[in-house]
Amino acid sequence: MPYMWMEINTSNVNTMINRKECANPKCSEYFTSVNARKRFCSLVCKNQAAYWHKQVVYEWENRIQKQRLKNIKILESLYKRGIYTANDIELKKMGFILEAAIIPDLTAENQTVFRFGNHYLVMIEANEFRIKKVK
Residue 6 has pLDDT above 60, yes or no: no
Share of the chain above pLDDT 70, in %: 88
Task: Please return the burial class of 113, using the count of CB atoms within 10 Å of its CB with bins 0-12, 13-18 and 19+.
Answer: middle
Predicted model pTM: 0.65
A 10 A CB-CB count for 12 gives: 6
Q: What is the pLDDT of residue 94?
A: 95
Sheet of 128-133, strands arranged across: 85-87, 128-133, 119-123, 112-116, 105-106
Q: Are 24 and 48 in contact (CB under 8 A)?
A: yes
pLDDT in tens, 90-123: 999 999 998 888 778 888 888 899 989 899 899 9
Q: What is the pLDDT of residue 1?
A: 47
Residue 7 has pLDDT above 70, yes or no: no
The b-or-e profile of 45-78 (16+ CB within 10 A means b, else e) is bbebbeeeeeeeeeeeeeebeebbebbbebbbeb
Backbone angles phi, psi at 68, to 5 degrees: -60, -45
Strand partners, 19: 32
Residue 13 has pLDDT above 70, yes or no: no
What is the Cα–Cα distance from 95 to 93, expressed in whole angstroms?
5
